Chains A and B, each alone.
Chain A
Amino acid sequence: MAAVAGIGLAGLALAACGGGTSNNSGSNSTNASEVKIGACTPQSALYPGNTNEVCGGTVLDATTAKLVHYNVDTSEPENDIAQSITTSDNQHFDIKIKPDYKFSDGTTVKAENFVNAWNWAANCKNGQANSYFYTPIKGYADLQTDNGECKTAPKTDKMSGLNVKSDTEFTITTTEKVSNLPTRLGYIAFAPLPDSFFKNADARKKQEKIPVGAGPFKVVSNTTTDIVVQKNPYYAGPYKPHVDKVDFKIYTDPEAAYNDVLSNNLDFTGTMDPIPNDQLTNDQWKSDLADRWGQKDSSVFGYLNFSPIDKQLTGPSNLKLRQAISMSINRPLIIKQIFANSYSPATSWVSPVVEGYKAGACGENCTYNPAKAKQLYQESGGYNGTLTLTYNADGGHKAWCEAVASEVSQNLGIKVVAKPTPDFKTLLDSLDKKEISGMFRNGWVMDYPSIENYLAPIYGTGADSNYSGYSSEAFDHQLQVAAAADTGAPADAAYQKAEAILAKDFPTAPLWFQKTSYGWSDNVTNVKVDAFQQVDLSAIELKKS
């Protein structure tokens, strides 16, 4: 999945009761206001510039505050630390911050805490996984050497596009127009870091396990079996939690977490530990959990890619073959039989959870039509040899890839084989080495809620997640037009035009959007999940007895 870092903690609807302790009710909880959340082990150090997966992302999101916060229900950006973000040309941004935010170590959040954090993470010698996100900022290139490999140290350690005006104001200048920059600023990589982080290497080493942020919680202990966070006493934002303590209990088997929720030993599962598929089948989980389950649209998007090295599949001359393949897949049937209805069929390249989503953008190509598929296939000139569908075996893709292969094979009358690689890194490796022909699976999780995030990184010429090798001048130009347009409806309309170009060229076949299925215990109430598949720790509260 894509860089799934954190986002979306709190709900807006928490005006009342700023985190007072609730009365005890949970028969199993020892502390009056502690909730236990099923979790998984973070993959690497908990730095905002480095964490890009859901296990670490959830913890880091609870402990950091950003300029912008995404609404849990709508994914709309709303100002958090930012007092205001203004621009007149989509290229020069002026940011004023609220003066009363504090880090969990008691120090005040100042403008330079943002600028220093971004400069540090963008600097190639610090090798941060999220450094990609600072690319639009002017001067980013000066912090990269040797094509990004960083064998020699960069001459400067500051991006020229960042300027501190005062303790509460700074400016960002970008190399090109970026209409959705304010939306991007809610991504975890744009969180501020405290002065103590920059003191020395030892301090940083400490913060990779016990991060210091300005969020509603602070980490008190962090092992590979438990991560415990407590209310941050200095927290000044609007997303105040109702519980004093959250215990992220790490499970290796989602079934164990599910059974613990069933027995009220655990208060929440479904985001970091998914509900097991055999429980979803026939809605078993809905009857088991009675009224303590929920399902919510997530940003996860699955699609079928056509290998850029396969000359029989790519390019304008093979458009009909690609359309035929897409049309021969019965999406609703596979979703029902394999995903137990926890997905919805895709009719566009952009997820319904973002503003600017346009249902049906894919047109009839995403609708099952075996007769038309067969006809298009015959007109296309066919496919010689065996068509392969490559997937990584470590991601649970076997069943649906085999189903897709068998449908394409049956409906078009060609030989299609689903072919596994041992794991995801091997799949990426083989793609890099141009060893995979035929089709392969892809997925995408948005980084920030913007229609742009579903288009530019995946289909822009030379974009780093552009595995289809798609390159279109018209599309690239339309992206630029959209980036220069006014935020909101004008930009969205421009991006929809770009999506329409995709529909015409059909470089990939959209398959489905995932829903998050989750369950909770009898001890808690007000359980919400956002589009980033994260549970809202500020909203959740213990039931009053």
Chain B
Amino acid sequence: MGRYIIRRLLQMIPVVIGTTFLIYAMVFGLGDPAKGRCGERPCPPAYIAKFNAEYNLDKPLVVQYVLYLGKLLHGDLGTNFYGNQVSQELIARYPITIKLTIIAILFELVIGVAAGVLAGIRKNGFVDNLVLVSTLVVVSIPIFVIGALAQLVFGVKLGWFPVTASEGTIGQLILPGLVLGSLSVAYVARLTRTSLVENLRADYVRTARAKGLSRGRTVGVHTLRNSLIPVITYVGADVGALMGGAIVTERIFNVNGIGNFIYRSIYQHDGQSVVGAVTILVLVFLLVNLIVDILYGVLDPRIASD
């Protein structure tokens, strides 16, 4: 196991370098970021020269990138065009996005698994059809529509939830968390159902039932535990996706998290912030995937890691 982890960690190095270089090249390689910062007026040459020197933009792209990487190794993500440390920005915003992600995951697990179990044990019944249809609806509506609709109906019209979550308190984050988790809830419900239906047909379930075990115990203890392996794997991988995918939700509800930060930075052409935030996102993604792969082996010993 230890060797496996070390190998995986080493594999990350080229991935991180490759992805950050791609991002860096996309952000800084095209056009001159200093231009267009003075409205309809061309910027004074001295302004452009000073700006480019400050961010190494006057050097060839590869040199710029190596200089950036050098700073990155010291944990320095640079300073954005507004004079803020990118790392400080991220430190201020990660807790909020993590809170949002936890709400989404809890929602996914509780509602998704419950719906999946109810649908699975009464296959082809009313509940099953209801779950299938409603998840289909959720899956087919884009998240920005769900978000804007939820904000308008539950925030503005009914006033049940705060309209925006600028301060990032738990109370404010519930509605955006539900919206963020809504897509995954549908997948979790469907995954649970399918897996449960399959396992209920398995030999060991029939044996358990034949030996007189109650239905509740067969489903709740024996079948569900096995059925949840793919679900947990899915949810684990989803943590990384949710953190990056919060861009739309965080923007709609003005949550001051990572997603909103990335959106703002792209919109305002704040290259330093974009590269810094995405680099950290890549790292989070890779680490979460590693943890999921390791956990997979723990949950099901038949799947060996190495």
Residues of A within 8 A of B (CB): 1-4, 41-45, 52-53, 124-129, 131-132, 144, 147-151, 205, 208-209, 223-225, 249, 251-253, 255-257, 259-260, 262-263, 265, 422-429, 432, 442-445, 457, 464-465
Contact = CB atoms under 8 A, between A and B. Distances in A.
A253 B254 contact: yes
Interface of B: 30-33, 35-47, 49-51, 81-84, 89, 92, 148, 151-152, 155-156, 159, 162-164, 166, 251-254, 256, 260-261, 263-264, 267-269
Nearest to B80: A224
A224 B162 CA distance: 21
Contact of B31 (A52, A256, A425): A425
Contact of B156 (A125, A262, A427): A262
Contact of A255 (B36, B47, B252, B269): B252
A209 B43 CA distance: 22
Nearest to B34: A425
A209 B269 CA distance: 19
A208 B83 CA distance: 8
A129 B38 contact: yes
B37 A252 contact: no
B36 to A, nearest CB: 3
A1 B46 contact: no
Majority secondary structure, B binding face? loop
Nearest to A443: B40
B164 A131 contact: no
Of the candidates A144, A252, A443, A457, the one having the most CB atoms from chain B within 10 angstroms of its own CB is A252
A249 B260 contact: no
B82 A42 contact: yes
Contacts of B43: 129
Contacts of B89: 224
A424 B32 CA distance: 11
B156 A259 contact: yes
Contact of A148 (B45, B151, B166, B264): B45
B260 A52 contact: no
B36 A149 contact: no
15 contacts: A1-B39, A1-B40, A3-B39, A42-B82, A43-B82, A45-B83, A124-B44, A129-B43, A225-B92, A252-B264, A255-B252, A259-B163, A423-B36, A425-B31, A429-B31
Given A147-B45, A224-B82, A256-B151, 8 more contacts: A3-B41, A126-B46, A127-B44, A127-B46, A131-B44, A225-B92, A443-B40, A445-B39
B31 A426 contact: yes
B246 to A, nearest CB: 12
B32 to A, nearest CB: 6
B166 A249 contact: yes
A424 B42 CA distance: 11
A428 B49 contact: no
A151 B33 CA distance: 20
By CB atoms of chain A within 10 A, which of B46, B162, B254 has the most? B46
Contacts of B41: 2-3, 52, 132, 457, 464-465
Contact of A265 (B45, B51, B163): B163
Given A1-B40, A132-B41, A259 B155 contact: yes
Contact of B264 (A2, A41, A223): A41
Contact of B46 (A149, A424, A457, A464): A149
Nearest to A226: B166
Q: Which of A224, A249, A263, A422 has its CB near the most chain B CB atoms (within 10 A)?
A: A224
